[in-house]
Amino acid sequence: MFLFKIARRIFVFILLLIIIVPTYVALNIWSTAHHATPVTSDAIVILGAAQDNGVPTPILLERIKQAEAAFHSGLAPRIITVGAGQKGDNFTEASASYQTLLRDGIKRNHITEIAIGQDTLSSTIAYVGYMKLHGLASVLIVTDPYHCYRAMAEAKDLGVKASCDPVQSGPGSLKATGIKYMVRETGAYLAYKTVGQFGIHLSDQVKK
């Protein structure tokens, strides 16, 4: 009888964890998406998304436009583009962002291209490594609203201060996304904070 009570308490505790922890994470993701506040930083980072033969897809283009607005507002003196290409691609996500920034009038000496990263974590490792090498301590991440929470967490875990400037329109905006995106981000964050801490890297790459 005593062992049964212990087993039941353990079961209830585990069940509560299964319910409470994902709910807590989901609420943080939702809150960050709706209330993200850009902070003046050493650099702006455009997290990569798909490109089509050097042309940014709509989701990436919105991130570029948001980064340009932040740059012109004086939130940071430099923009870092990040993201590799797929097998067989002639261009990378970083180069598509870089070339678009140039065409839009951002000078080369204000842009850094880092053509590394197939997903959020590998991209974050790449740009944080560059930042530390060049004495940059804070970053303003430009991405989709529901992606902000995890993107900031990964940057902070690697030792830089991070805030987020989420896109306001397009396919990655709050109006165009919903519960599906939030559920995916909840799972990705939990995977990062659990198995990810043991060196097991589950890619979150999604084609857009």
CATH number at residue 69: 3.40.50.620
The mean pLDDT value for 155-168 works out to 97
What's the CA gap between 67 and 160, in Å, rounded? 19
The structure's pTM equals 0.88
Q: Is 25 inside any structural domain?
A: no
Residue 12, domain member (yes or no): no
Model confidence at 5, in pLDDT bands (50, 70, 90)? low
| Residue 117 lies inside a defined structural domain of this protein | yes
- Provide the number of structural domains found in the chain: 1
| 159 occurs within a structural domain | yes
The three-class DSSP label of residue 141 is strand
Q: Is 183 exposed, middle or buried (0-12, 13-18, 19+ CB in 10 A)?
A: middle
- Residue of 83 and 16 predicted with greater confidence: 83
Do the domain assignments include residue 10? Answer: no
The boundaries of the domain holding residue 135 are 30-198
Mean pLDDT confidence for 53-72: 96
Q: Rounded distance, CA 14 to CA 19, Å?
A: 9
SS3 state of residue 61: helix
Task: Give Cα 70 to chain centroid, integer Å.
Answer: 16
Lowest-confidence region among 15-24, 98-107, 180-189: 15-24
Average pLDDT, the chain: 89
- Say what the pLDDT of residue 33 is: 97
- Going by C-alpha positions, the residue among 154, 169, 156 that lies closest to residue 41 is 156
Question: Within a domain: residue 19?
Answer: no
Q: What is the model's pLDDT at position 137?
A: 98
- pLDDT at residue 208, as a whole number: 46
Contact at 8 Å (CB) between 92 and 59?
no
Q: What is the CA radius of gyration of the chain?
A: 19
For 106-152, the pLDDT digits (tens) are 999 999 999 999 999 999 999 999 999 999 999 999 999 999 999 99
Of 160 and 50, the one with more pLDDT: 160
Mean pLDDT of 50-69: 95
What's the rounded mean pLDDT across residues 6-19? 61
Q: How much of the chain, in percent, has pLDDT values that exceed 70?
A: 85
Tally Cβ neighbours within 10 Å of residue 176. 16
